[in-house]
Chains A and B, each alone.
Chain A
Amino acid sequence: MDRDLYPHLPHSGVTMTTEQTHEEATHQHGMSNAGYVKIALILAAITALEVSTYYIDFGPFFMPSLMIMMVVKFVMVVSYFMHLKFDNKIFSWLFYAGLFLAIGVYVAFLSTFKFFIA
């Protein structure tokens, strides 16, 4: 049966309850709504920490800590909110290929202008 033509029909003719539906959806995506809220709270806390670096002197840890927090937030949103962690790896390859290509190209670009030496 073409499921694109009959998207409203359940799998294998089995009738599903709302609870089953929710459980399956949670299982398939790897997270419940409460899980998403927890991720959002963690992201908010990291953002608060990031902003604190503007007011508090972190000394030599300033730049590394900011970079780490930025990367952690980026990966958390991409992995959990965009479901890359739970989805087919091809999607991850497509996205991260573009991302790392961009990082490589522009690090080379900035190096050409001696950005990192300055």
Chain B
Amino acid sequence: MADTALHTEHHTSTGLSNVKLGMWLFLGSECLLFGGLISTYMLYRGRVGEGPTPSQVFDIPFTSVSSFVLLMSSLTMVLAVSAANQKDDRGTTLWLTITALLGATFVGGQVYEFTAFYNEGLGFTTSLFASSFYVLTGFHGVHVTVGIIMLMSLVGILKRSKVPGSKSETVEMIGLYWHFVDVVWIVIFTLIYLIPV
């Protein structure tokens, strides 16, 4: 049955889901958070001091693969939402698990990247470029990690069939968060990695 919280009339003053309104408001506010971090990086990316420059440390082929992995996790997430709308619990669980695995691959790649950068002499306090880079990408990595925790928690409670309220709405809300993390990376990948200083 396609009766989901997505389009069902809700008993609220707006006729819309308050949970969904809250989630979109939260995502709108997250734009301000990441906007601040991206702007700070853009301002300081040329301030390398004695440390290595962005072009000396960035590994574009590696980051491109990571970006592709995160992009594909958005596809698996939307397929999980689609399965949830069709009340296909097995499909929902499968796609959510794949999404979490792809997210974990991305975070693993980021940990490897940070380690490689550190070994090349780019510590957190090496330069303003280093600090702003680690804070920006680190914040994003934390968001992805939180997303993975939410996905796996959801898989756990789906298996016990203890999701309060509408299952499909719960899956959709976590999906919105996950896609947002993906669109933030779309911006970061272009502005931070692909545009030379």
Supposing A36-B78, A50-B194, A82-B179 touch, asked if A110 and B39 sit within 8 A by C-beta, the answer is yes
Interface footprint category on B: 35 or more
21 contacts between A and B (CB under 8 A): A4-B165, A11-B3, A21-B86, A29-B6, A29-B82, A37-B75, A47-B68, A47-B71, A50-B189, A51-B64, A77-B183, A78-B183, A81-B182, A82-B175, A90-B14, A91-B21, A94-B28, A98-B27, A98-B28, A98-B30, A101-B32
Interface footprint category on A: 35 or more
| Contact partners of B183 in chain A: CB under 8 A | 73-74, 77-78
- Cβ distance A82 to chain B, nearest Cβ, rounded Å: 5
Q: Are A51 and B60 in contact (CB under 8 A)?
A: yes
Q: Which of B20-67 contact A (CB under 8 A)?
A: 20-21, 24-25, 27-32, 34-36, 38-39, 42-43, 60-61, 64, 67
Give Cα A54 to B55, complex, Å. 11
Q: Which of B171-197 contact A (CB under 8 A)?
A: 175-176, 179-180, 182-183, 186-187, 189-191, 194-195
